[in-house]
């Protein structure tokens, strides 16, 4: 988890409210990713960034948006949280690209009531 922090680590929210999760890195890696982890599904990519202000959708991007205004910060926003977005969210970074080694943050547990 060194060099990558996520905040908050735990959050409980209500359906319909917006939620923003933050990922912060001190490694100066170009690529940053947001995944969600659910039982039986493994890790699924939500969005990723390949540079400041350069982002793209992943496998399960509906209902999520991202922003990256600085190299070190990658924000994930749930525009209007739903119970199906209850999950554990992981941020990851990599230096040279998608298919190279990824380094993961400690995760954020989100419960949407």
Partner 1 sequence: SQQGEEDPQALSIQEGENATMNCSYKTSINNLQWYRQNSGRGLVHLILIRSNEREKHSGRLRVTLDTSKKSSSLLITASRAADTASYFCATAFYNTDKLIFGTGTRLQVFP
Binding site for partner 1 (CB under 8 A): 1, 4, 35, 40-45, 58-59, 90, 92, 97-107
By C-beta, is 14 or 60 nearer to partner 1? 60
By C-beta, is 3 or 63 nearer to partner 1? 3
Residue 102 CB, nearest approach to partner 1 (Å): 7
> What's the rounded Cα separation, in Å, for the pair 70 and 15?
30
By C-beta, is 59 or 79 nearer to partner 1? 59
- For residue 44, CA distances in Å to 27, 31, 52, 61, 69 come to 23, 16, 22, 10, 24
Residue 58 CB, nearest approach to partner 1 (Å): 8
> What are the structure tokens assigned to 113, written together?
């009531």
> What's the rounded Cα separation, in Å, for the pair 95 and 64?
24
């Amino acid at each position: 988890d060194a060099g990558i922090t996520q905040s908050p680590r735990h959050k409980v929210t209500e359906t319909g409210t917006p939620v923003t999760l933050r990922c912060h890195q001190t490694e100066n890696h170009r690529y940053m990713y947001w995944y969600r982890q659910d039982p039986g599904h493994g890790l699924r990519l939500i969005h990723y960034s390949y540079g400041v202000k350069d982002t793209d959708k992943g496998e399960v991007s509906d209902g999520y948006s991202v922003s990256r205004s600085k190299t070190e910060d990658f924000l994930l926003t749930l525009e209007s949280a739903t119970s199906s977005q209850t999950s554990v969210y992981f941020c990851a970074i990599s230096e040279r690209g998608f298919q190279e080694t990824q380094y993961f943050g400690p995760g954020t547990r989100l419960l949407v009531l």
